Structure 1
Amino acid sequence: MDLNKDVLDTVNFLPDQLWEAWEESRKVTLPVTFKNFKRVLVCGMGGSALGGRVVKAYASDKSSASIDVLTDYSLPSYVDSQTLIIASSYSGNTEETVSCLNQAIEKKLPVFVIAAGGKLIDLARANNLPVYILNPKFNPSNQPRLAVGYSIGAIFGALSNCGAINETDNEILEVVDFLKVEQGELKTKAEELAGIIRGKTPILVASEHLTGAVHVVKNQLNESAKSFSASFDIPELNHHLMEGLKNPNDVTSKLLFIFFSSGLYHERIQKRYPLTKEVVEKNNVATYEYKMVGDNKLKQVFEVIQLGSYVQMYLGALYQEDPLAIPWVDYFKEKLV
């Protein structure tokens, strides 16, 4: 199968991105007031919002501050001096994120900036804000959606420095080592899964700590493989989606439900997975189950991201799509000006 070398190298670099950003972001000097935050708001769009979604899902029961993600132009009314604003944009020029950063500066809110360049860096320097400047040496594809390791590592680093999370070097290194050991097997599984997805619409199903990681996979399938995809979480989908699998038949017959099952989910959620799969199959909708291998939640988060990154690469190749081109996003941005 003919794969894009820059994309393959970038996907393989996921653990290197994580470690690089974790180490370097913690070297950023923070004001002494950056402690005891009650809330964290990650402002970003598309690929640059993925890290925030992952950290929100993973750290919801670990962080001393509530974490949310904003994909819009305007800050919510609740933000105040006890809210850390993380402005994240790979290019540094995403207009929605620039708008939020300007508002945060005007309101004199605590801000941490993550970018590789652009207006965000200029604003951070002009206003003496703490900033982690990405060095994208582990992203030869230069695609924000494939720089998710940087994004997660940088947010982890910022939250660690603020005392909001307690992850350690050893915990991050365990994930790095786990990914490098499992990459070969994950490639094999991903190539198989891409073949199963081909011609189908993948519906990704996960829970709890994996919902953010599944959002990453959905985003990458959209942009890189040019494939429609959607994601749902259990238990929420059990309250509505199971009744929506009947009509129209020519659509539901094309669906493929991909279940990411984990022994680390709440015991009641674990019980729901085989029952949900049974209901889906009784509606004549195809299913695939991926059973998590990682022995802790953070490993499983990156296991999903690594697997999904390989799947989007193989699926795009099967569809003979250019994984780097985003013609409709580019068209939209040009017309929006």
Structure 2
Amino acid sequence: MSAAVIDDLNRMREIDKQGMIDLVVGFPEQCERAAGLAEEWMPKSGLDGKPDVVVVCGLGGSAIAGDMAAAVYADVLGCAMLTNRDYNLPAFVGSKSLVICESYSGNTEETLSAYDDARRRGSKVVCITSGGKLAENARRDGVDLVLVPGGQPPRSATGYMFVPMMFVFEKLGVAHSALDKLSGAIDLLKHAREEWRPESGSSGNRAKQLALDLFGKIPLIYGSVGITGVTAFRWKCQINENAKAHSFANVLPEFNHNEIMGWEGAAAQSGGFAAVFIRDASDTSRIAERIRITSKIIPEDFPVHDVAVEGANALEKLLWGFYLGDFMSVYLAICYGVNPTSIAAIDRLKAELAKLP
């Protein structure tokens, strides 16, 4: 694939008809708008003490915000936290639990079902959405509601889904320490954008170079538990939806106990695999050594790419990694000549499900 393909801005516009790249470029400002909206929000009622568990209910681009929060607040949250991607809540969720229902559209059927389940159990519920049935239900039931702007693909609205959750945590007294780092994280993204934006040529553009490296490949993306693991999963999902290509993600050290063996016979399946290790300078020495040794175990016929997240703290590293992956996945879509916004298979599935009783 020639670099000229993703440096041709006219061709990019012809393929990216709905302007996904513009939404990616505007992500730092989206985070700023989300902060302004959430700052004005005040909960209708507080929590009766610390929650026994925090559960974020959502799917797809809305659910990833729960994974982000769990990674950022891992060292300060005084209880368990999980993302629930299902119709029903786990049995241990009850009246002392905080349940955050996230659906950008407000019409995600699994999240609406989980909302009803949380209400039946007497959990403290907060909804973050742009409208739809979730907003209607929250207003009807007098449930806390954070409204965000709508009108764009959920996977491009991560700032609207994640940043308000930080304010929810702060204002309910669940966790602190991350919100004061948001401004610095946004500044970091704006600085990175100068290198990764479409007008920046591929020779000095890390996002474009990654797209060119992964074109025609099946990316297997690896991180470790926490920041880089969540980032790896985000990259996988963005490649799936934006580039319409298969990609898979896993985390160390678990990967070293099973999937590593797949590389032994990988050539018999496909010659198109490519490994991507997302690492952090703060990784423990054991994780760093696992990455080093595993990179050598992967057969030489398969390319291995190394990406080190940048930033001074967990929030900066997470958002930096997400932002790089978002740019890369759109550029990869351009390489494949596919519209990064369209999601025909998902739309067809939803239409078929809507016909069922």
TM band (smaller chain): over 0.9
Distance 2:138 2:282 in 1: 40
Inter-CA distance 322–226: structure 2 relative to 1 (3 Å threshold) = same
- Kept in 2: contact 1:204–1:229 (CA 8 A): yes
Distance 2:40 2:79 in 1: 21
Distance 2:93 2:68 in 1: 21
Structure 1 equivalent of residue 71 of structure 2:
57
Q: How far did 1:33 drift? A: 2.8
Structure 2 equivalent of residue 15 of structure 1:
28
Q: How far did 1:168 drift? A: 5.1
Distance 1:243 1:176 in 2: 40
Structure 2 equivalent of residue 194 of structure 1:
211
Moved more, 64-73 or 189-198: 64-73
Structure 2 equivalent of residue 217 of structure 1:
235
Q: Give the root-mean-square deviation of aligned CA atoms.
A: 1.7
- Kept in 1: contact 2:166–2:178 (CA 8 A): no
Moved more, 62-71 or 12-21: 12-21
What TM-score does the superposition give when structure 2 sets the normalisation length?
0.88
Distance 2:33 2:173 in 1: 20
Structure 2 equivalent of residue 107 of structure 1:
121
Moved more, 11-20 or 117-126: 11-20
Q: How far did 1:255 drift? A: 0.7
Q: How far did 1:23 drift? A: 3.6
Q: How far did 1:19 drift? A: 2.8
Q: How far did 1:293 drift? A: 2.5
Distance 2:353 2:313 in 1: 44
Structure 2 equivalent of residue 330 of structure 1:
347
Unaligned runs of 5+ residues in structure 2 are 1-7, 198-204
Q: How far did 1:262 drift? A: 1.3
SS at match of 2:306: strand
- Kept in 2: contact 1:252–1:285 (CA 8 A): no
Residue from 76, 85, 94 that aligns with 1:80: 94
Structure 2 equivalent of residue 276 of structure 1:
294
- Kept in 2: contact 1:34–1:110 (CA 8 A): no
The answer as to 2:250 corresponding to 1:232 is: yes
Q: How far did 1:34 drift? A: 5.7
Which residues of 2 match residues 1-337 of structure 1 at below 5 A? 1=8, 2-3=12-13, 4=16, 6-30=19-43, 31-33=45-47, 35-136=49-150, 142-167=152-177, 169-187=179-197, 188-207=205-224, 208-282=226-300, 284-337=301-354
- Kept in 2: contact 1:201–1:255 (CA 8 A): yes
Structure 2 residue identity aligned to 1:324: T
Unaligned runs of 5+ residues in structure 1 are none
